[in-house]
Amino acid sequence: MLKLAFLASRNGSSMRAVLQAIAEGELAAEARLAVSNNRAAPALEAAAAAGVATAWIPTRDDPAAADMALAQALRDSGADLVILSGYLRKLGPEVLRAFQGRILNIHPGPLPQFGGEGMYGRRVHEAVIASGARESAAVIHLVDGDYDHGPEVARLSAPVLETDTPESLEARITALEPGFFVRTLKEIVSGQRRLPEA
């Protein structure tokens, strides 16, 4: 039984899809904790409604203390894997050390070409379209100390249509991400997919 913790700053769409898959018996996993750096994040309310323990750990005023608190909360949860579901803060060294090779993020564009600091949300889709690329992707990867840099775990490609705008491409990729995350976790649980070396 895979034990999961989630980090989300806003809605936590992938987290919600994973919680639903667990509740419906589709995913052999247990949700142990959901943490946000945003006290008003809808993700916290969704997690609590699903019976998952929640925590608010603000990061802005004292990032080092927040890093320590987050690492301790995640360790105390007993989580095997940490899932980033729209967590809009860079993880600190304590969390990265405590869960090296066990933190997954999803990025809304092909990596490494369309990743790095500042490349998030609609900016990624604007860059993909501006490049003339015929294909985009959602990429699940391990998290390390650099933005969008860790080893790739899984990739789901999506065509870039001639009529696409950044908004339409974003909508299509965003719709794919939650189900893709659930499928990838199922493959990890079943042994079909192994996590790469961090």
pLDDT tens-digit readout, 150-191: 999 999 999 999 999 999 999 999 999 999 999 999 999 999
The yes-or-no answer on residue 107 being catalytic is yes
In what helix (H) or strand (E) does residue 144 lie, and over which residues does it extend? none
Q: Provide the 10 A C-beta neighbour count for residue 191.
A: 7
What is the distance of C-alpha 105 from the center of its chain? 3
pLDDT at residue 148, rounded to an integer: 82
The three-class DSSP label of residue 1 is coil
Q: What are the extents of the domains in the chain?
A: 2-190
Q: pLDDT per residue over 25-40, tens digit each?
A: 999 999 999 999 999 9
Per the prediction, the chain carries an average pLDDT of: 95
Task: Kindly report the pTM of this predicted structure.
Answer: 0.94
Q: pLDDT per residue over 46-77, tens digit each?
A: 999 999 999 999 999 999 999 999 999 999 99
> Given the DSSP bridges, would you call strands 135-142 and 103-107 parallel, antiparallel or unpaired?
antiparallel
What distance in Å separates the CA atoms of residue 76 and residue 93, rounded to the nearest whole number?
17
CA terminus-to-terminus distance, the chain: 22
Asked if the model's pLDDT at residue 198 lies above 80, the reply is no
Q: Which CATH architecture describes the domain 2-190?
A: 3-Layer(aba) Sandwich (3.40)
What distance in Å separates the CA atoms of residue 24 and residue 10, rounded to the nearest whole number?
24
Residue of 107, 125, 141, 149 marked active site: 107
Share of the chain above pLDDT 70, in %: 99
